[in-house]
Copies of this chain bind each other. A is one copy, B any other.
Amino acid sequence: MKPTIVPRATLGRLPVYLQYLKSLPAEAGSNVSATTIAKALGLGEVQVRKDLSAVSGAGKPKIGYAVAELIEQLEDCLGSRDRSRAVLVGAGKLGRALFDYRGFDAFGIDIVAAFDRSLERAEHSDSGKTIYPMEEFGAFCKREAIRIGILTVPAAAAQSVCEEMVRCGITAIWSFSPGQLTVPEGVVLRQENLALSLAYLTMQIKTDSLGASDEEKD
């Protein structure tokens, strides 16, 4: 499998292709054309070809894609056979909501444990997963070789938790904490700013209603 960065929009559609291909009855044959897929999913044919070319070769003229092979390639790309395990630090409301959110599954990601500084002993989330006291964070990450950390702690604690994550071997951090974070080279950081997202949307309608031009799209 050749490692590639699939464009974000394409990645979002891959679980849809996978689900569709898996739903095909055996009688449908061992090949499927881009035209058939596009019709079934209400997508443009050009888009389907382009999306699938990111994970597979091009379909063969008059034959299309080999269904079994394409399923395997999609599963590889989506991590269905090589799942990624993440941990979450900061089991407040947002942290718990993410911890129990089921949508990560389709992308081959499991949030295997959460940690919170306020806990003295482990407890369970609503979905039955374990939230540990922060003291157990380092040992857990090293034992389980965790590479992905989700940060949902208050702003004041974010940088220090971020550094603790890096010390424990985490190389990708997804932060919901406000404020600027710095990570060493080699660590991938993505900072979500929910307030800013909403503010930006709000600004668009304010300016729209005042008749300004809306040149910048997000």
Q: Report which A residues bind B (CB closer than 8 A).
A: 2-8, 11-12, 78-79, 84, 86, 92-94, 96-98, 100-101, 103-104, 106-109, 126, 147-148, 150, 171-172, 174, 178, 188, 190, 192-216, 218
Residues of chain B lying within 8 A (CB to CB) of residue A213: 5
Contact of A107 (CB < 8 Å), options: B2, B172, B192, B196: B196
Could you tell me if A174 and B198 are in contact, using CB atoms closer than 8 angstroms? yes
Specify how many copies of this chain sit in the oligomer. 2
Contact of A94 (CB < 8 Å), options: B92, B101, B190, B205: B101
Residues of chain B lying within 8 A (CB to CB) of residue A93: 93, 96-97, 100, 126
Residues of chain B lying within 8 A (CB to CB) of residue A7: 216
Contact of A210 (CB < 8 Å), options: B3, B92, B171, B196: B3
Inter-chain CA distance A67–B57, complex, in Å, is 60
28 interchain pairs, CB-CB under 8 A: A3-B206, A3-B210, A4-B207, A5-B203, A5-B213, A5-B214, A5-B215, A7-B216, A8-B196, A11-B203, A78-B199, A84-B202, A84-B206, A94-B94, A98-B194, A101-B195, A103-B195, A104-B198, A106-B195, A107-B198, A108-B199, A109-B195, A150-B198, A171-B205, A172-B201, A174-B198, A188-B208, A190-B200
